[in-house]
Amino acid sequence: MEHLAQIYFGLFAVIALACATGVLLARHPINAAMALIGLMTSLSGIYAILHAPFLAVLQVLVYAGAIIMLLVFVIMVLGGAKDDHTPRFDLTGLLLLLVPAALVAVLARTFRGQHLSNAASAVRGTVDKTGELLFANSTGYVVLFEAVSLVLLGAVVSAVLLSKRDLDTTKENKA
């Protein structure tokens, strides 16, 4: 059982890393979006292995189901194929690669000496356990939850407003 979890974790980790590299190197945004779906799905598998089934389901529902769908939709609407003339990388960008490389090197050095082990008494993060924590009066996450609902409402309204302003400017251009 332990070995099986280890094997599946390695498998999902390799898929996730390959998909993230695919996003970095993809030529067309659609290819990158497909790689992103693979990344989200494998991360969902890792959450399931880490005993967080609620997050695993949420990851597939919201990320693979909604966000990437929106992304693919916009890529299709804008006709991403038009963008073939934009170079993937330029010299400045390649020089900027030093920043993430340095960050990863420093953090990996920090992690290397640490001893971290999973708690034997860790509770499985099911829907009811996560929900209890989310809506418990003692933790105060309820306020954050309401704030997030406001943020989502604001996002929807602003997205509508942005598209409406776009219509107005095109009208002015025509006039």
Partner 1 sequence: MMGIDALQVQFLALALFGLGLATALTRRNLFFLLMGVEIMLNAANLSFVGFSRTLPGVASNDGLVVPVFVIALAAAEACVGLAMLILVFRTRESLDSDAYSRMKE
**Residues 88-147 contacting partner 1, CB under 8 A:** 88-90, 93-94, 96-97, 99-101, 103-104, 107-108, 111, 114, 116-123, 125, 129-130, 133-134, 139, 141, 144-145
> Which of 26, 24, 68 shows the shortest CA–CA distance to 43?
68
Q: Which two tokens stand for residue 166?
A: 């776009």
Residue of 15, 41, 58, 171 interacting with partner 1 (CB under 8 A): 58
Site string for partner 1, 64-93 (x = CB under 8 A): --xx--xx--xx-xx-x-xx--xxxxx--x
CA distance 129 to 105: 37
Site string for partner 1, 144-163 (x = CB under 8 A): xx--x--xx-xxx-xx--xx
Least distance from partner 1 to the Cβ atom of residue 175, Å: 17
Distances (CA, A) of 56 to 29, 40, 47, 126: 25, 9, 5, 10
Regarding 3 and contact with partner 1 (CB under 8 A), the answer is yes
Distances (CA, A) of 158 to 74, 92, 100: 17, 33, 32
Least distance from partner 1 to the Cβ atom of residue 26, Å: 8
Residue of 34, 37, 40, 45 interacting with partner 1 (CB under 8 A): 40
Please classify residue 171 by burial: count the beta carbons closer than 10 Å to its beta carbon, then call 0-12 exposed, 13-18 middle and 19+ buried. exposed
